[in-house]
Amino acid sequence: MKILVLNSGSSTQKSCLYSLNALPESPLEPLWSGQITWTQAEVQLKVTTARYTLERTFTTVSRAEILVCLLETLWQGHTQVLADKTDIDIIGHRFVHGGCDYQDPVLITEQVKADLANLVMLAPVHNAASLAGIEAISAILGTHMPQIAVFDTAFHHALSPAAYIYPGSAAWLEQGIRRYGFHGLSYQYCLSRAAELLAEMPSRMIICHLGNGASLAAIRDGKSVDTTMGFTPLAGLMMGSRSGSIDPSIVIYLLRQTNCTADDLERILNQESGLKGLSGLSNDLREVQQASNQGNPQAKLALEVYGHRLRSELGAMLMSLGGLDTLVFTAGIGENSPAIRAAACEGLGFLGLKLDHQKNQQSPRDTEISQPDSAVRVLIIHTEEDWIIAQACWSMGKALCL
């Protein structure tokens, strides 16, 4: 079965192609992988196969056009791995928000698309991109191609009412206003990988998914009991360009005292805040760290606020668990920033957590970076959201007799 996965993030579009005759326990290397990265000035495309790597840069191109360029490398040129487009059997899309109704992977129909379109306002950066991906695939490969949606919110459906209900009007819950939680595909993979690495399921675990979008999840015995994101992916940690949680009165104040519209505020909070807003430079942690090292005071302040907010939210997750056995770092920042990991772990020293600073500096993939006598085991895990989507496609494909 040829499975194409499309994973739309806040600043990237990751795609990969798997060929499966059976479903192995561990992730397989994809036949082909592609990534589109949007920066302030350009769009970068990178395609990798076992034999060839292609890199291109665009300055003016639409999302639909760049996706066509990406997919055509599957059956054209040096990166060709398929005879033609008809070799693809099923396609899986990551959807950040499934709302109250969607928990399990679902075959995409017109009704499903309409339902997911109604959720775009709750995850405007992600759900709109995923819907655009569905339409682009239909235009390129035809409407007969089976496409499924897999949801980030599904992992957190185990949250208790005390954890997911907001302390507002009782009518809010009837309107679907509640905490949902996100990054569920990443948490699902990291949970299973951590259990494999440790040869047991940790009883009390916090997973730190730190990328351009960032959140934490408190997991007890394999179930999510608390998480930092809420009704939308805007809540919780300070992020690349998102503010994270703020006093809601700030929004009221800006509406009353400035000429800001609701659309202006959405743009400011989602695209012009966080590291980008405070540093005045970039949503990329690496660029902010470089500027801080060169003496830029705003960049230094942005990093200090980022670290403070991370430690503060870690404390909240810790209280939800009543202790901690395992701490996991994943995603772009979590996997690649020794300084951020060290700053987080420093605040947990009172638990007996002892970081191996030499291993931490090396940023090893899928291994332990705590000292042997540490009371809390600390892991770096390379997240594989695409593999979780591929597994769902395999199961759906078998049900459809593909």
Instruction: Check if the beta carbon of residue 96 is closer than 8 Å to that of residue 182.
Output: yes
Closest CA to 391 of 150, 33, 186: 150
Q: How far apart, in Å, are the Cα atoms of 18 and each of 77, 140, 165, 272, 317?
A: 19, 19, 39, 36, 36
Residue 297: burial class (beta carbons within 10 Å; 0-12, 13-18, 19+): exposed
d(CA 390, CA 360): 31
Catalytic residue among 152, 226, 284, 386: 152
Burial class (CB in 10 A: 0-12, 13-18, 19+), 325: middle
Look up residue 79 and give its DSSP letter: G
State how far the Cα of 314 lies from the Cα of 337, in Å rounded to an integer.
Answer: 17
The residue with tokens 């009172």 is 350
Output b/e per residue, 245-271; b: 16+ Cβ within 10 A: beeeeeeeeeeeeeebeeeeeeebbbb
Copy the structure tokens of residue 203. Answer: 């009883």
DSSP lists the bridge partners of residue 367 as 380
CA distance 307 to 276: 15
Other C-beta atoms lying within 10 Å of the C-beta of residue 192: 18
CA 278 – CA 301 distance, rounded (Å):
7
* Of 80, 62, 63, 68, nearest in space to 17 by CA: 80
Is the separation of the CB atoms in 330 and 210 below 8 Å?
Answer: yes
Mark whether 87 is an active-site residue: no
DSSP 204: E
Which whole-number Å values give the CA distances from 322 to 1, 101, 219, 377, in the listed order? 44, 31, 11, 16
Residue in 324, 373, 328 with CA at minimum distance from that of residue 351: 324
Positions marked active-site:
152
